[in-house]
């Protein structure tokens, strides 16, 4: 069963709110990571854009702190 238009609209608003909060809440590099994760895990039925996945990988490849932040953000999103 396809999601209703109202559910899609609410999901889009929640995504925009999450992106705005991520931009304001953390340090520069962690907010970039949070924004990339939110964009990669949107409420759409399509797979994530490859550029968002690449950004997440590039931000987490050298820092354990970023990996920990990535896992925490993904667990909150799920």
Please report the pLDDT score of residue 54 as a whole number: 92
**pLDDT (tens digit per residue) in 5-19:** 887 788 778 777 777
**pLDDT (tens digit per residue) in 8-56:** 788 778 777 777 766 666 566 677 888 888 888 877 777 888 998 999 9
Measure Cα distances from 61 to 38, 49, 56, 64 in Å.
Answer: 18, 19, 9, 8
Please report the pLDDT score of residue 76 as a whole number: 85
Query: Per-domain residue ranges for the chain?
Result: 26-77
């Amino acid at each position: 069963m396809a999601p209703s238009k109202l559910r899609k609209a609410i999901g889009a608003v929640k995504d925009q709110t999450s992106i705005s909060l991520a931009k304001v809440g953390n340090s520069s590099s962690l907010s970039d990571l949070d924004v990339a994760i939110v964009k990669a895990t949107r409420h759409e039925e399509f797979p994530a854009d490859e550029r968002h996945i690449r950004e997440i990988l590039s931000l987490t490849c050298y820092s354990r702190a970023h990996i920990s932040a990535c896992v925490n953000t993904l667990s909150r999103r799920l």
